[in-house]
Amino acid sequence: MAASINKYVKKYMTVVILAIIILFFSVADSKFFTIDNGISILRQVSMLGITAVGMSCCMLVGDINLACGVLQGFSSVVCCLFLANLGVPVILAYVLTLAIGTMAGGVGGAIIVKTGMPALIGTLGIRLIINGGAYLISGGLPIYGLQDNAKWIGQGFILGIPVPVIFLVVFFIIGSVLLNRTYIGRHLFAIGSNAEATRLSGINVDRIRIFAFAFSSFCSSVAGLILMARNASGQPNGGNGGEMNVITACVVGGVSALGGECNPANLIVGVLIIGVLTNGMTILGVNEYWQTVIRGAVLILAVGFDFYQKTRRVRAKVPVRKEETKKD
């Protein structure tokens, strides 16, 4: 009985926390709990959420993609270059940008996987290269001169819902289908749980890991297009540091920092917790430095809880398990 309650607490913990945070801000300020502010929060977390979908695949196999933030700025600059400076049609510019972003992630991933270096270090290097590349392309300054129809992806509405929010929903569906319904999803989970056993089962572990890097970069590039459209410019430093929020959202959303665990439904709650916290604190007028401190505390809490569950608790459980294995 106690065990099943525990299981439910763990399963719906994030939802409960989100509800408590929403309740707190609703009581604290009447401007918070309105439809307008709700949509505003969703729009604010759209880029974070889309990037987090990709990142969760990387973290699922036990890797990480630190370049997912700066890739947004890079993509916005590249797309602006196509649109404003080279006069490429909008759709083509988008497709080219996404292809370049995905390629960058795939090549970087291939280098990491084939050399066997830790993803943390490898993507740190890639992050620097991409960030520097964005500055080089733009000459260090934002690129302006975006035509109006290119801004739709960031500023438009469909049936009163902002386009970025629709993209967010679409990407969560894509992530959900990818992880739960496709063979790639099954392989991602298997690699995250036990890469060597997966390899010995005849699966190309390297290729799946590279796919995760490429997919993560693709998601970041999509977020980059939205970033560009919202700012109506290409910002070389856009998204820089955003990877920290993405990792926080993933971990709060139940993506294990050790790999092997990820649930898209939970992930969206993690993304919303970060979004609601930021929005609510801003409405309350909490100064930005304190907001950063609080986000850090949330990250520590989430990771600490996750690891405590896995290591400290498991140790206490070991004798129980032995009993279970005895009855065949």
Residues near other proteins (CB under 8 A) are: 177, 181-184, 186-187, 189-190, 192-194, 196-204, 260-261, 322, 324-328
Q: How far apart are CA 310 and CA 304, in angstroms?
A: 10
Question: What is the smallest separation between the CB atom of 256 and other proteins, expressed in angstroms?
Answer: 10
Provide the minimum distance between the beta carbon of 166 and other proteins in the complex, in angstroms, as a whole number.
23
The CB-of-157 to other proteins minimum distance in angstroms stands at 32
Cα–Cα distance between 152 and 156 in angstroms, integer? 4
Report the residue number, 312 or 317, with the smaller CB distance to other proteins: 317
Q: Minimum Å distance from CB 178 to other proteins?
A: 8
Separation of alpha carbons 33 and 26, rounded Å: 5
Nearer to other proteins, 88 or 258 (CB): 258
Q: How far is CA 97 from CA 66, 91, 103, 149, 225, in A?
A: 19, 10, 10, 16, 8
For other proteins, the closer CB: 119 or 205: 205
Length of the chain: 328
- Structural tokens at position 309: 């569950």
CB of 328 to other proteins, least distance (A): 5
In the complex with other proteins, the residue whose CB is nearer, 151 or 186, is 186
**Closer to other proteins at the Cβ: 182 or 309?**
182
Distance CA 299, CA 247 (A): 9
Instruction: Quote the CA–CA distance of 323 and 328 in Å, as a whole number.
Output: 10
- The C-alpha atoms of residue 166 and residue 16 are separated, in whole angstroms, by 25
Spatial neighbors of 157 by CB under 8 A, at least 6 apart, are: 163
Over its C-alpha atoms, the chain yields an Rg (Å, rounded) of 21
Q: Decide whether 198 or 216 has the Cβ nearer to other proteins.
A: 198
Query: Among 27, 203, 205, 33, which Cα is nearest to 114's?
Result: 205
Shortest CB 115 distance to other proteins, Å? 17
